Amino acid sequence: MSTPTDAEPAIVSELPKLPGHTLGYIDSPAERAGLVQSLQLEGFASEAILTFEGAEGVALLAQMMEGSQWGESAQKVLKKGTDELLAGHSVFCVKVAGDEEAALVAAISTQLGGRSVTHFGVLVDTRLT
């Protein structure tokens, strides 16, 4: 797992829980780097942007989703995330303040190759793309 900064990812010692985040998938490292840069230019802090890759990403995504109240919906997201990660793609997860920021993340990410973006709010999760 990484928290992207200007050029190099940094390891995060404590994973946040899923509510309050927007999660999606992106294919290539170049698309991932472009997404991170675009989000930072829009004002999202480096610490608010997480990416998961590979088998380590599968474990970290599962850990982040522990205790999720969404049952079947969360299980579908975990399955999709696992499939994406094992196919060599990345999962991105961005801390958002609410629906407007979640929509902004979805708009930016889809322009750069992101897909299946979901906002996990405190009470409701919403598929945005």
User: What is the residue extent of each domain of the chain?
Assistant: 3-127
Other CB atoms within 10 A of residue 75 CB: 12
pLDDT tens track, the chain, 129 positions: 444 434 434 344 567 777 788 999 999 999 999 999 999 999 999 999 999 999 999 999 888 887 665 567 778 888 999 999 999 999 999 999 999 999 999 999 999 999 999 988 776 777 787
Q: How far is CA 43 from the centre of its chain?
A: 16
